[in-house]
Amino acid sequence: MNKNFLTEIEIKNFKCFDDFKADGFKRVNLIGGKNNVGKTAFMEACYINLNGDEQYYVNSILRVIRQRDKFFISNNLITSHFFKAFFFYKTSLSKTYQKNLTHIINSNVKTTSFVFEKQFVNTNIKYTLNGENNDINILISDIKESIKYNNYPLETNNKVISILPVGISDEIIVERYSFLQINNEEKILNDELKIFDSNIIGFKIIKNSPEIDYKLNGYIPLSQFGDGMKHFINIIISLFASNNGYLFIDEIDNGIHYTQLDKLWEIILTVSKELNCQVFATTHSKECIESYYRTAKRLEDEDITFIELGKNKENKIKAMVYPYDWFVDEIEQEHEVRGW
Amino acid sequence: MVKIIVEGDDDKNLLIALLRDLNLGDKKNFPNYFETMGGKAKLLDFEQEKYKKISKQIELKLNNFTKVLFIFDCDFEKDDKKCGGFEKSEQCFNKLKEKLNWNIDIDYYIFNRNLDYFLVDTITPENKKQCFIAFEGCLKLKEITPNRKPIANLYRDLYPYKPYDFSHENFNLLKQKLTDLFG
């Protein structure tokens, strides 16, 4: 396994995690668990940690805020309580929030921590990256603009990619598709799209617009197709774009028919190995978990884990990380692994 | 949440039927209660990967895992000098328990000789049991396989309380152990 891969993480005072540790991650990692247990928050913590470089770190935090807020919080709610609500909702800290509390996300790759010195309009973030102290002043109004127009420049490490099941822009598709072209692997996407829908002839970028060549109809903008197909395309092109990097896929099977899942996992397992990319994905679906098991076993790919997130009776979030052998054993014994 | 650790699928099938009969546990959860180890030798070997997995689940308090029941065959001393026979089986189990060092309630049940002998002993009425034994003797089945599996399978498939007669007194202790486990 690549020495740069994330193998362990410690999260303190971040979102729903008070004090959390997990280790044993491999090249491909599928995360299961009940609703609101913190699957997406776990991936966000990993994403922020892996962006733990001077030029990307704060942007990665703001990107995570923007990504979540765009879909889950109305812009009008960005008030003095915004950071509190975003970072500590559901935790024991939400009622006793103290500014100056340190939020820690450490991994085997990077050590990162940050403190919001104020909660109000002009917020100072003090942060430490790999032992070095920094601080930055952030205006809430800037973040509001960023969320509203989605155009506030938030450059992050382009080898750490996070994708949601909805909401990819044409610009991002064009940018990520270029990595597929660089690798001369356009055929992979076209072949898979034909299986996805037998009326599809192929995918092309025409004048910076992603288009689908559809039987009888000719080229149709991708925007006219369902979210499931966009998510499918996004996963494949993002995989190529994150070579020698990391890919985080939220709700991997969202909108994707179960008959496509084995093929999708085959592509992920094969391409991530070839391109040295570490993948983390979440799911709620038993079919998706069984497909992951089946495909990894067929390909004899043991560089995988299944991560089961759940809360124990003290209401603390814990991760049971199943390496390949344990995961196979759990599935073959028909044990429930989708959270507890 | 509880766990029942068994040697193999024959044990698991018997115990699922018994849990249904006793109306214990949640039917949807039946597979989650069991851990099949793949034989007695593996069940008594603390270095098995499955035990590492279960140890981790206990450490994380996954499913609020609080009780475990081990069920396995006593087998014969002549076949296994180390852990064969009731006394040595118990000794080997106690060593396993010590090495696992699980901080939860642990209980065990050992089948007299093995599961197949145990089942054949539960055949009633006595004259019917003698028919099975006569059949076994006539075909010299014990010379082919000493574990009585053919005759136990025949019993499971055919007669008289297929697949099991849970009202037989031989099941009493096992029933009590399962009731305590889910209690």
Residue at A205 is within a domain: no
Q: Give residue-wise pLDDT tens across range A15-37.
A: 888 899 999 999 999 999 998 89
User: Cβ B29–A322 below 8 Å, yes or no?
Assistant: no
Contact residues, chain A, for B56 at CB < 8 Å: 320
From B29, B49, B61, residue closest to A313, measured CB to CB: B61
* Containing structural domain, residue A135: 8-156+311-332
Residue at A37 is within a domain: yes
Mean pLDDT lowest for which of A134-143, B132-141, B172-181? A134-143
Using the Cβ of A317 and the Cβ atoms of chain B, whether some distance falls under 8 Å is answered with: no
pLDDT, mean over chain A: 84
Judge contact between A137 and A124, C-beta under 8 A: yes
| B30, closest residue in chain A (CA to CA) | A335
Residue at A101 is within a domain: yes
Q: Under an 8 Å CB criterion, which residues of B touch A?
A: 1, 29, 31-32, 34-36, 49-50, 52-53, 56-57, 60-64
Question: Residue A148 — very low, low, confident or very high, per pLDDT cuts 50/70/90?
Answer: low
Residue B131 has pLDDT above 90, yes or no: no
User: Cβ B61–A312 below 8 Å, yes or no?
Assistant: yes
Residue at A292 is within a domain: no
Residue at A119 is within a domain: yes
| A322, closest residue in chain B (CA to CA) | B53
Selected residue of B12, B55, B57 to mutate for chain A interface (largest A Cβ count, 10 A): B57
pLDDT, mean over chain B: 90
User: Cβ B50–A340 below 8 Å, yes or no?
Assistant: no
ipTM: 0.88
User: Cβ A312–B62 below 8 Å, yes or no?
Assistant: yes
Judge contact between A66 and A153, C-beta under 8 A: no
Three-state DSSP state, B77: coil
Residue at A149 is within a domain: yes
Q: Give residue-wise pLDDT tens across range B61-117.
A: 877 788 999 999 999 888 889 999 999 999 999 999 999 999 999 999 999 888 988
pLDDT at residue A111, as a whole number: 94
Question: Residue A144 — very low, low, confident or very high, per pLDDT cuts 50/70/90?
Answer: low
Question: Residue A96 — very low, low, confident or very high, per pLDDT cuts 50/70/90?
Answer: very low
pLDDT at residue A108, as a whole number: 96
Helices (H), B38-125: 40-43, 49-59, 86-100, 115-121
DSSP collapsed to 3 states, chain A: CCCCCCCEEEEEEECCEEEEEEECCCCEEEEEECCCCCHHHHHHHHHHHHCCCCCCHHHHHHHHHHHHHHHHCCHHHCCCCHHHHHHHCCCHHHHCCCCCCCEEEEECCCEEEEEECCCCCEEEEEEEECCEEEEEEEEHHHHHHHHHHCCCCCCCCCCEEEECCCCCCHHHHHHHHHHHHHCCCHHHHHHHHHHHCCCEEEEEEECCEEEEEECCCEEEEHHHCCHHHHHHHHHHHHHHHCCCCEEEECCCCCCCCHHHHHHHHHHHHHHHHHCCCEEEEEECCHHHHHHHHHHHHHCCCCCEEEEEEEECCCCCEEEEEEEHHHHHHHHHCCCCCCCC
User: Cβ A333–B34 below 8 Å, yes or no?
Assistant: yes
Residue A338 has pLDDT above 80, yes or no: yes
Which A-chain residues 262-291 have CB contacts (< 8 A) with chain B? none
Q: Give residue-wise pLDDT tens across range B1-55.
A: 899 999 999 999 999 999 999 999 999 889 999 999 999 999 999 999 999 999 9
From B50, B60, B61, residue closest to A329, measured CB to CB: B50
- Give B130 to chain A, closest Cα distance, Å: 37
Judge contact between A156 and A245, C-beta under 8 A: no
Question: Residue A261 — very low, low, confident or very high, per pLDDT cuts 50/70/90?
Answer: very high
Question: Residue A87 — very low, low, confident or very high, per pLDDT cuts 50/70/90?
Answer: low
User: Cβ A318–B61 below 8 Å, yes or no?
Assistant: yes
Task: Compute the distance between CA of residue B108 and CA of residue A101 in angstroms, rounded to an integer.
Answer: 49
Using the Cβ of A301 and the Cβ atoms of chain B, whether some distance falls under 8 Å is answered with: no
**What percent of chain B lies above the pLDDT cut of 70?**
97
Question: What's the whole-number mean pLDDT along residues A179-200?
Answer: 89
User: Cβ B49–A325 below 8 Å, yes or no?
Assistant: yes
User: Cβ A333–B63 below 8 Å, yes or no?
Assistant: no
Judge contact between A167 and A71, C-beta under 8 A: yes
Q: Give residue-wise pLDDT tens across range B156-180.
A: 777 656 667 899 999 999 999 999 9
Give the global pTM: 0.89
- Give B31 to chain A, closest Cα distance, Å: 6
In one letter, which amino acid is A323?
A: P
Q: Considering its fold, how many domains does chain A have in total?
A: 1
Q: Give residue-wise pLDDT tens across range A280-329.
A: 999 999 999 999 999 999 999 999 999 999 998 888 899 999 999 999 99
Using the Cβ of A308 and the Cβ atoms of chain B, whether some distance falls under 8 Å is answered with: yes
Judge contact between A303 and A273, C-beta under 8 A: yes
User: Cβ B29–A320 below 8 Å, yes or no?
Assistant: no
